[in-house]
Amino acid sequence: MINSSSDDSHLSRDYINVNVGKRVRMECELSNATISGNMKGLWLRLEDAEVFFYLTSRINSDQRFQIEQRPILHIINGTSSYEVMTYSLTIDDVRSSDDGTYSCQEDNRIIKLFVLNIVERPYFVTDESTTLLRTQIGKNVSIACEAHGKPSPFLRWIKKIDGID
């Protein structure tokens, strides 16, 4: 069962900004993993409930997503032995579509949330070439310019008068 409950307001969130094409790593600690390897970790994106890894098994076929688990602490309590594990999700060559809230879960319990904000450099959608427009005095002229990016780019028009910028 996937826990994507909307009542996660008490959980801390790590906010991560990453540029398109870069690598991002999200890391959480799982503490109910026994030394025998009985780890019940899960990584998913909450917006679409897309599961990326369960334990160390790949669920998503996208090879840009990688999982790593490392033991960081052994706890011996009487006859029981436990490991605290670092459970990491790495995304290589991030895309705009990777934007969202990622959840690290253990035994159907959200351990940590990561809000991944993908930053995309502004780019022009329309032709960037210079075009000479001629019209009659008093007539309207429409000029269009479209650019995309994240955050949304701010566009400003500048009128060039007789060679002066």
Domain assignment present for residue 130? The answer is no
Q: What is the CATH number of the domain that holds 23?
A: 2.60.40.10
- Return the SS3 of 93: coil
Q: Per the structure, how many domains does the chain have?
A: 1
Domain assignment present for residue 153? The answer is no
Q: What is the pLDDT of residue 49?
A: 87
Residue 125 to residues 63, 128, 145, 151, 153, Cα–Cα distance (Å): 30, 8, 8, 15, 12
Contact 59, 43 (CB under 8 A): no
Q: What is the pLDDT of residue 113?
A: 96
What does the alpha-carbon distance between residue 24 and residue 21 come to, in Å, rounded to a whole number? 10
Domain assignment present for residue 111? The answer is yes
As a dihedral over the C-alpha atoms of residue 39, residue 40, residue 44, residue 50, rounded to 10 degrees, the angle is 120
Domain assignment present for residue 44? The answer is yes
Give pLDDT tens digits along the chain (165 positions).
Answer: 344 444 566 777 999 999 999 999 999 988 765 445 556 788 999 999 888 988 888 888 899 999 998 877 776 777 777 778 888 999 999 999 999 999 999 878 898 999 999 999 998 887 666 777 888 999 988 888 888 899 899 988 887 777 665
Expressed as residue numbers, the domain containing 111 is 13-120
What does the alpha-carbon distance between residue 100 and residue 10 come to, in Å, rounded to a whole number? 18
What does the alpha-carbon distance between residue 49 and residue 100 come to, in Å, rounded to a whole number? 11
User: Nearest Cα to 34, choosing from 70, 97, 80, 86?
Assistant: 80
Q: What is the pTM of this model?
A: 0.73
Domain assignment present for residue 84? The answer is yes
Q: What is the pLDDT of residue 29?
A: 86
Residue 26 to residues 31, 104, 121, 155, Cα–Cα distance (Å): 17, 9, 23, 34
What does the alpha-carbon distance between residue 89 and residue 78 come to, in Å, rounded to a whole number? 33
Domain assignment present for residue 6? The answer is no
